[in-house]
C-alpha cells in the first residue's frame, strides 16, 4: 500500500485525506440519521394526546426536556399558539427548516469529495505526464525505468481519485435517502401536531 502511495506522488496524500473524510462522514450520518432519533413515535403520540386534552403546560414540559427535532418544532408551536394561524404556520415552518438543515448536514461535503477526488487524480496524471516529458527531454526514450515512474504516477493517481469518488457517490445517495425519510416523517408529525392545536383552539 505504501509503495502504491509513493508511486502516485504528492497528490495521493490529499486523495487519501478525502477518502478518510468520506468514510467518516458516511459512518457518522449512518449512525445519526435514525428516524426515531428525530421524530420519536412515542413522543408524537404523547404530545397529540396531551394537546387534545388541553394539557399545554404538560406538553411544554415534555418538549423542553427532549432533544428531538419534533420536540423542538413542537416547542415553537406551543410558544406561538396565540398568534394568528398564518403566523403560527410560518413559525412552525421556520423551526422545521432549522431542523431539516441538521438532517442535511455534510451531504454537500460528500458531493464536494465526489467532485474533487477525480480532479486531484487528474492533477496527478498531469504531474506524471510532465515527469515523462522531462525524462524524454533529458534522456530520450531509452530510459524505460525513469519513464515508468511518470507513467505509474499518472495511472495510480487517476485510479485513486476514481476509487474515492465512486464509493462516495454511493455514500451520498444512502445518506440522502435516509435524510429524506427523516424529513418526511418530521413534516407529517408536525402537520399532525399543528392540526391538533388548530382543532383544539376552535372548540
Nearest by Cα to 187 from 73, 91, 76, 83: 73
Rounded to two decimals, the pTM is 0.81
- The domain in which residue 21 lies consists of 14-202
Q: Is 47 domain-assigned?
A: yes
Q: Is 56 domain-assigned?
A: yes
Q: Is 7 domain-assigned?
A: no
Q: Is 1 domain-assigned?
A: no
DSSP 68: S
Q: Is 5 domain-assigned?
A: no
Q: Is 137 domain-assigned?
A: yes
Give the total number of structural domains in the chain: 1
pLDDT in tens, the chain (203 residues): 555 555 556 888 899 999 999 999 999 999 998 888 899 999 999 998 988 888 888 989 999 998 899 999 999 998 888 888 888 888 888 998 999 888 888 999 999 999 999 999 888 887 777 666 555 556 655 555 655 555 666 678 888 899 999 999 999 999 999 999 999 999 999 999 888 887 755 55
3-class secondary structure, 81: coil
User: Quick one: cell of 61?
Assistant: 414540559
Q: Is 84 domain-assigned?
A: yes
14-19 long-range contacts, Cβ below 8 Å, gap at least 24? 14/120, 15/117, 15/120, 15/121, 15/124, 15/157, 15/160, 15/161, 15/164, 16/160, 18/113, 18/116, 18/117, 18/120, 18/164, 18/168, 19/117, 19/163, 19/164
Q: Is 9 domain-assigned?
A: no
Amino acid at each position: 500500500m505504501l509503495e502504491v502511495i509513493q508511486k502516485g506522488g504528492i497528490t495521493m496524500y490529499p486523495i487519501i485525506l478525502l477518502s478518510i473524510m468520506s468514510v467518516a462522514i458516511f459512518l457518522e450520518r449512518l449512525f445519526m440519521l435514525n428516524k426515531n432519533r428525530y421524530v420519536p413515535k412515542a413522543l408524537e403520540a404523547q404530545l397529540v394526546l396531551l394537546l387534545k386534552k388541553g394539557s399545554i403546560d404538560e406538553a411544554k414540559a415534555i418538549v423542553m426536556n427532549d432533544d428531538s427535532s419534533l420536540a423542538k418544532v413542537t416547542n415553537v408551536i406551543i410558544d406561538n399558539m396565540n398568534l394568528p394561524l398564518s403566523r403560527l404556520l410560518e413559525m412552525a415552518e421556520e423551526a422545521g427548516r432549522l431542523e431539516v438543515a441538521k438532517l442535511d448536514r455534510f451531504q454537500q461535503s460528500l458531493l464536494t469529495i465526489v467532485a474533487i477526488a477525480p480532479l486531484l487524480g487528474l492533477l496527478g496524471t498531469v504531474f506524471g505526464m510532465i515527469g515523462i516529458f522531462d525524462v524524454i527531454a533529458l534522456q530520450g526514450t531509452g530510459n524505460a525505468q525513469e519513464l515508468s515512474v511518470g507513467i505509474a504516477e499518472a495511472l495510480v493517481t487517476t485510479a485513486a481519485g476514481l476509487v474515492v469518488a465512486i464509493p462516495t457517490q454511493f455514500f451520498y445517495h444512502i445518506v440522502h435517502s435516509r435524510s429524506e425519510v427523516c424529513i418526511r416523517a418530521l413534516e407529517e408529525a408536525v402537520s399532525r401536531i399543528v392540526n391538533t392545536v388548530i382543532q383544539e383552539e376552535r372548540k
